Amino acid sequence: MSSEHLLNNISNVSDETEFYTPRPAGYREGKTKYVVVVGSVMSGLGKGIFSSSLAKILKDKGLTVAPVKLEGYLNLDSGTLNPYRHGEVFVLDDGMECDMDLGTYERMLDQNLSRRNFVTSGQIFNRVLEKERLGGYLGRDVLMIPHVTGEVKLRLRELAVESDADVVFVEIGGTVGDVENAYYFEAMRELAFEEGPDSACFVVLTYIIEPPALGEQKSKAAQLGIRALLECGIQPHIVACRGRHRVTQKVREKLAMYTNVPLDRVISMHDCESIYLIPEMLRGAGMDTAVVDILKLHDRVHPEAEQKARATWSDLLRKQREADTEVTIGIAGKYTSVRDSYASVIKALEHSGAHAGVRVNIDWIDTTDLTEANVAEQLGHLNGLLLPGGFGVRGAEGKIVAVRFAREHRIPFLGICFGFQLAVVEFARNVCGLAGANSREIVPDCPHPVIDILPEQKAIEGLGGNMRLGGRDVSIKAGTRAHQLFNFATEVRMRFRHRWEVEPKYIERLEAGGLVFSGKAPDYPIMQVLELPADAHPYFLATQAHAEMTSRPLRPDPLYLGLVRAAIENKHPMTDDASQSADSAATGELTTS
């Protein structure tokens, strides 16, 4: 970010005033309203799902919405976070590596987000210190209040200008009372004060405890959590109560009395069958009307748009509800003990299942322990197999075993990112006869590095050892299965997060063996989609992209939808011939497709 850009929004910083309210060029007070969603009692309540659902029902009314997630950690982005600790890393089209909640917002709102929609404490402090070094605060001692909180408010107002939003939805990560998030709550109190009446709506998502030994719901923890919010100077307008079962009238009355929130705005957010039911749950509780009333947005609502949006969404829910066929798709990875590591993959399969009219059951397969000896037992019952992204050596050989089994036994297969790379490795070894073929990431000195970091990529992309991130255009080869799946488009937009590529010098050898590279970078020898011809395999595709990150409930990703439809065609147990072939594979005999 340029020095000029960092400094051009600093104003009213002097010894004559204690007010510090930086506003970006073009900001109009009163144009954008703010809904602030916070949590209490515990994390993991689903603030992102709740906030995105609330944003959706306002968008359905014809309002323009822009979500933003405020994270307390000091990382500049989520790129270095371990999936075991923080779930999957979601990548936006502009390359920002962010929290998985941004994926929830993109899917629920069906709109692409940018780095403007994701803020961390690291980003805030970094900008404040850069401004301080440039003399931007005119000699003032730089403090949490007003300078750090001022930077938070500036980021929200910049988003408001860029998105031209009617409503900015602000989700504060963690819970009220967390040390790392305290200045976010103060910034939101200041924002509401500065913007004036009818400018901000505060929603607290809390948890209602239901100890099995007591057999009743207890609200004391929720009361104390909301007290911490009141101590921050923030009066909530809406209280949403999470719980396993519907929250009772008695508990809602207690919270209404304790928090000064009208009873009809203390709502139950109990567990339900699908997150896609939550928008209608909120609408049924009158939350869309409540927010419109609180923010005085009546003149911006378009009932015709809402009617159309609700009909479309209801059709999706109907398809989910009426699905009476099931397919089992295996997800073979090494983070299978933490389902959030594959959140977008799970959702992409859900979207595809709804559109294909089936319910997708997921069988989690830990590739760390997968071998030729047990692969038939682990994979033989599957209708389809998906190999998701990942990094590192652990579980890689098990994934290669899984790819071979799916290829040889004609199980519908989709490889994603690392799965794409290992599909190339497996094909090179077992079809092209390149003994010891591997990726340099796994075995740096392997005899046939069919996957490598390309010198050409370093020179062209200027990324060195870093990853290629974000949206890229992909040229699709005419006459291929990918061409058909993408509705015969010759160029599509996909998202990437990877360092390693197919080594160009092996491409001719791989293609001679029967592998088809049906998608590539438009101007460079970078392979991005592969497949086997229809006469060789019913469905064998892989992509270097993270196709799941652009899948939406109303627009499922074509590659995932193709996998699910192929799995439907494969709803038959292994034949005796297939079992015999599996035994042959286990003893090391080479079988090609």
Give the residue numbers annotated as catalytic, written as ranges: 417, 546, 548
SS3 153: helix
Quick one: which of 528, 569, 472 has its CA closest to 93?
472
Provide, for the chain, the percentages of residues in helix, strand and coil under a 3-state DSSP scheme, each rounded to the nearest 5.
Answer: 40, 20, 35
Reading the block at residue 176, the tokens are 């009220």
Q: For 457, list phi and psi in degrees, rounded to 5.
A: -65, -40
Between the alpha carbon of residue 154 and those of residues 10, 20, 160, the distances in Å are: 9, 10, 10
The DSSP bridge pattern shows strands 516-520 and 501-502 to be unpaired
What span, in angstroms and rounded, lies between the C-alpha atoms of 347 and 333? 16
Q: Cβ distance 35 to 201 under 8 Å?
A: yes
Going by C-beta distance under 8 Å and a sequence separation of 6 or more, which residues neighbour residue 520? 474, 475, 477, 526, 527, 528, 529
Place of tokens 């005899």: 447
Q: b/e map of 444-469 (b: 16 or more CB within 10 Å)?
A: eebebbbbbbbeebeeeeeeeeebbb
Between the alpha carbon of residue 438 and those of residues 169, 371, 372, 400, 512, the distances in Å are: 46, 17, 18, 10, 18
